[in-house]
Structure 1
């Protein structure tokens, strides 16, 4: 089953006054929240170390999913299809560029984003890790905290979203409390081991 979705480049949306609100707000969030240094984080740098360069090199894609989320199975199908497309497109890039690439799937019609996104991520993440990909969930009331400083929220966004990217060796720290997922990650290996030189 295929679901239509709008795709835009986050870097181009930042300077486009005609961009839809979901895209403009998500692009600003990627730049200002994920790509800006957070001194309280417990380590130097930005929340997402790759985001500033990824935006400069136009490697951040935004896609809209307008499904209402009444049926989690539809959202799972949509995310799996989006992950397949992302993997195919990023797979044609040199590893250093693929490392910078991500797709932010923005859900513009979810009634209960926290419950629904958590369920979709739970169902899809093992398959993604087995393919060398990973995903993180973001939504306005997300209470996930930094592994280095529990006072710093790290996953709040203006719109509910799931971010797709290649897994890296560093992702093991996010999986240590999930032996089932860590086992899949360890067996498959990271999707990218290159550095963004």
Structure 2
């Protein structure tokens, strides 16, 4: 389970996975790490990438999926979660910029929505409850940007899954599921993650309000189910 920093990739020679590593590294630097006219706000597409590149805290891995079942792929990604949590960062303030990019060059674009998205959806509750986020990227990802619904920030040249620590700004992603049970799990993990350490008091209040609404929705659904 080889992981490479961006600086290590620059020094690699004659490695079978080098073309994929270089293509994603260039995408990270030139798309995620830069402003975009359709983004809808100032700054880089991913605001953490510039500092992550500077601090060399992004690690990339190429995962070959031939002959792997979906459940086996979930196990592989789950092991990277464990590695992520166990890996030390010398300076604590840099930990928030740590990220893993798991690249899947064997996944055809026609299968990306089914395979990459399904693995992400299956594992996301486990990741969120561990204080992490896992995101799915591929050419057919139609998830809209937060500030411009016509922008597609999760499109990558090769299918991949990204792992990083949860941050306060992730609240919109955690209160979006239509299933109230899932929403409750996410919001409780979010509040547990930050506890009394919230920097943004508004997000703290919004998270509590969203959790209350999710619990009320679940109660109503349970009552309707009981009555019918």
Matched residue of 1:63: which SS? Answer: strand
Is residue 35–residue 45 contact of structure 2 (8 Å, CA) maintained in 1? yes
Matched residue of 2:102: which SS? Answer: strand
Is residue 99–residue 194 contact of structure 1 (8 Å, CA) maintained in 2? no
Is residue 35–residue 51 contact of structure 1 (8 Å, CA) maintained in 2? yes
Is residue 11–residue 27 contact of structure 1 (8 Å, CA) maintained in 2? no
Q: 1:95 to 1:70 in 2, by over 3 A?
A: same
Partner of 1:101: 98
Q: How many residues matched?
A: 190
Q: 1:169 to 1:96 in 2, by over 3 A?
A: same
Is residue 112–residue 140 contact of structure 2 (8 Å, CA) maintained in 1? no
Query: Which of the residues 52, 55, 61 maps onto 1:57?
Result: 55
1:29-48 correspondence runs (5 A): 29-48=27-46
How big is each residue's C-alpha offset from its partner over 1:84-105, in whole Å with a ceiling of 9 and x where there is no partner?
1011104x54432110000000
Matched residue of 2:65: which SS? Answer: coil
Does 2:2 match 1:13?
no
Which has the higher relative contact order, 1 or 2, with Cα contacts under 8 A spaced 6 or more apart?
Answer: 1
Partner of 1:28: 26
Residue 124 of structure 1: how far off its partner (Å)? 0.2
Partner of 1:82: 80
Residue 18 of structure 1: how far off its partner (Å)? 4.8
Q: Please give the root-mean-square deviation of Cα atoms over the aligned residues, in Å.
A: 2.2
Partner of 1:137: 136
Question: What TM-score, normalized by structure 2, do the two folds share?
Answer: 0.76
Partner of 1:119: 118
Matched residue of 2:3: which SS? Answer: strand
Q: Structure 2: 5+ residue runs without aligned partners?
A: 200-228
Q: 1:127 to 1:31 in 2, by over 3 A?
A: same
Q: Structure 1: 5+ residue runs without aligned partners?
A: none
Is residue 168–residue 198 contact of structure 2 (8 Å, CA) maintained in 1? no
Residue 168 of structure 1: how far off its partner (Å)? 0.8
User: Which range moved further: 171-180 or 117-126?
Assistant: 171-180
Return the index of the structure with the highest Cα Rg.
2
CA–CA distance in structure 2, aligned partners of residues 93 and 149 of structure 1: 37
Residue 54 of structure 1: how far off its partner (Å)? 0.3
